């Protein structure tokens, strides 16, 4: 958790020094909010996260809850308003996801720690074993095998989280928001299982974000945790 504590401190400093950023509603070809591979929590923890997010005083920003809550495995492409079922890339994303998830058990993460960051507020998701990292590595290779370009440009995603808020306008109340994060900084939700992975697209509702599932693959319940060396080849 020491690394996460440093992340919390950096996020706090960024907001108090006026370095907040914000998103805008999706536009065709924009780098943010394109199709992605995600893992969404299920069950009681969704209600608990939703209730917590609803206590954040963030008028004008995108406060998440319910099926919007997710851990991002991989950003896949710039934003496109339309992704028909026969789209070649959509099919490749789904096939690669199925290959990557094969024989893996559900991903287990410990949800602990609330933090501000320049673009919003999140809850840390700390992997309980190697399964999440293995899934990421497998998925990268499965995409490469299908000739799908790397939107993340070689970045290794090594911090996992569930976003509670994305800023959608200049932040007017940084001190109040930082104070809320400080008060909830040690909040924990225990260890949860993420039972499936999905290809999703995002849509702006006018006041927030909606997540639409395009493809889903379930992990194998009861399977042994994977090691970092697991391969789909």
CATH of the domain at 206: 3.90.1140.10
Is residue 142 assigned to a domain? yes
CB-based contact 165:58 (threshold 8 Å):
yes
54, part of any domain: yes
223 is a domain residue: no
In a domain? residue 231 = no
pLDDT at residue number 231: 30
pLDDT means per 10 residues in the chain (233 residues)? 87 97 93 96 98 95 97 96 94 98 97 97 97 96 93 81 97 94 97 98 94 97 57 28
Residue 222 has what pLDDT? 73
Q: What pLDDT, on the 0 to 100 scale, is given for residue 9? A: 97
46 within domain boundaries: yes
**223: nearest Cα among 135, 121, 114:** 135
Instruction: Report how far apart, in Å, the C-alpha atoms of 109 and of each of 49, 65, 73, 74, 133 are.
Output: 14, 18, 13, 17, 11
* Residue 176 token pair: 């109040």
Residue 225 lies in a domain: no
Domain count, the chain: 1
Domain of residue 71, residue span: 2-26+34-218
**Does a structural domain hold residue 197?**
yes
In a domain, 229, yes or no: no
pTM of this prediction exceeds 0.75: yes
């Amino acid at each position: 958790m020491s690394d996460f504590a440093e992340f919390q401190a950096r996020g706090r400093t960024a907001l108090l020094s006026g370095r907040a950023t914000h998103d805008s509603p999706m536009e065709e070809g924009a780098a943010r909010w394109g199709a992605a591979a995600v893992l969404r929590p299920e069950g009681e923890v969704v209600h608990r996260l939703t209730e917590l997010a609803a206590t954040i005083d963030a008028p004008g920003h995108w406060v998440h809850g319910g099926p919007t809550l997710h851990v991002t495995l991989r950003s896949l492409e710039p934003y496109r308003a339309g992704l028909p079922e026969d789209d070649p890339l959509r099919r490749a994303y789904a096939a690669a996801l199925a290959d990557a998830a094969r024989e893996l058990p559900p991903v287990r993460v410990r949800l602990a720690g609330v933090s501000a960051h320049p673009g919003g507020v999140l809850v840390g998701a700390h992997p309980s074993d190697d399964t999440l990292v293995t899934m990421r590595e497998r998925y990268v290779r499965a995409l490469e095998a299908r000739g799908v370009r790397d939107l993340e440009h070689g970045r290794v995603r090594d911090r996992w989280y569930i976003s509670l808020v994305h800023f959608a306008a200049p932040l007017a109340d940084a001190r109040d928001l930082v104070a809320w994060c400080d008060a909830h900084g040690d909040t924990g939700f225990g260890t949860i299982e993420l039972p499936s992975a999905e290809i999703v697209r995002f849509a702006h509702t006018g006041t927030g974000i909606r997540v639409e599932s395009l493809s889903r693959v379930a992990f194998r319940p009861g399977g042994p945790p994977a090691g970092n060396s697991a391969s789909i080849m």
